[in-house]
Amino acid sequence: MALSKPFSRMVSHVILDLDGTLLNTDGIVNDILKRFLLKYNKQWNAKVAHKIVGKTPVEAATIVLEDYALPLSIEELMTTITPMFSDQWCNIKALPGANRLIKHLSSNGVPMALASNSPKPNIEAKISYHHGWKESFSAIVGGDEVVNGKPSPEIFLEAAKRMHTEPSNCLVIEDSLPGVMAAKNAGMIVVAVPSIPKQADRYSFADEVINSLLDLHPEKWGLPPFTDWIENTLPIEPLYIRGPVIKGFGRGSKVLGIPTANLAAHDFSDVLSEHTSGVYFGWAGLSTRGIFKMVMSVGWNPYFDNTEKTIEPWLLHEFNEDFYGEELRLLVVGYIRPEANFPSLESLIARIHEDGKIAEKSLDLPIYAAYKDSPYLATA
């Protein structure tokens, strides 16, 4: 997913949202509200989770109270759950590409601000667990410092003011609809990174919609380009996944002609929630067969419209027999592209084969080839 309008103007400053854009807050929110609602014999609903994305704390609390008909006032709810959230801030992980983006902009002298609907003390507490973040921002604006939160443009206008620049000089990166609307109302360039899956079409008024921060190309907006892409691939922090091979949707070999070694999605809920959808590559170890190059998709496979996020590796080797039940160890070392839909089955198949060729070639590069010797992949 990468939808962009024709290049319009250059920018000099960047304003970032925090929750859902830089930090993977959604998982923590869901876990806490699930536990809280159980006390009232209520079950947390993902649809409600989508409704509170980008809202101020009070607005989110109001939605939860109304949707679940809780016998509490807003003040009572806030008093109860705020400490629950505070206790978990140390466990909120940076989203893929967040550290890379902040380091890149900071090292290139691009002024940055944080603008979040959260109260400023909460913002500062959250980023204190991420090395180098606080000192990278020349301004931090919280929802408690403005009269109206997003979708009002006030918070972004205040951020620009504190950076001593005009709104038209600013690029905003946002995950929520209220945030994108606020930035557009402020007269700024906006790149949307939707935190809710399968919702890209709702962000069409943004200047660009990307799948994740890994897919951001700052040079489109006149900012310094990333220099870490290597032959159409991006090195990432190694990701380790292991589990028994299961039967998948039955479409790999039969429909696509590409046999995938599927893993049970429910066993990797944490991995799936922490890593953006897209096409990755690396090394695969099978306990009795050896180590092989592999390319894999993570996501919903839009062409088939999956109802759950999955991991589907394709081992780049011809096997004479199935190996269901065998333990598969994956060492993921690079990223190729965002997840995408295709107009036809033929175009999807062609793209998968192209991904395979990219992975096959790239894994011979020293930066990726070295991982083949990892003890993690060693056969039993």
The residues that are catalytic are 17, 19, 312
Question: 305-324 burial, b for 16+ CB within 10 Å, e for fewer?
Answer: ebeebbbbbbbbeeeeeebe
φ and ψ at 294, to 5 degrees?
-150, 155
Strand (E) or helix (H) holding 107 = helix 98-107
CA dist 200 and 315 (Å) reads 30
Residue 237: Cβ within 10 Å count: 9
CA dist 59 and 17 (Å) reads 17
**Closest listed residue to residue 58, CA positions, set 153, 127, 122, 141:** 122
CB 326, CB 249: distance < 8 Å: no
**Closest listed residue to residue 236, CA positions, set 374, 332, 99:** 332
CA dist 300 and 278 (Å) reads 9
C-alpha dihedral sign at 163, 168, 173, 174: positive
Question: 142-160 burial, b for 16+ CB within 10 Å, e for fewer?
Answer: bbeebeebbbbbbbbbbbb
- Residue ranges with strand state E in 51-135: 112-116
Residue 240: Cβ within 10 Å count: 13
Helix (H, G, I), strand (E, B) or coil at 274: helix
Give the single-character DSSP code of 255. Answer: I
Characterise 221 by phi-psi region: left (phi > 0), alpha (psi -120 to 50), beta (else): alpha
β-strand pairing of 170-174 with 13-16: parallel
φ and ψ at 330, to 5 degrees?
-110, 135
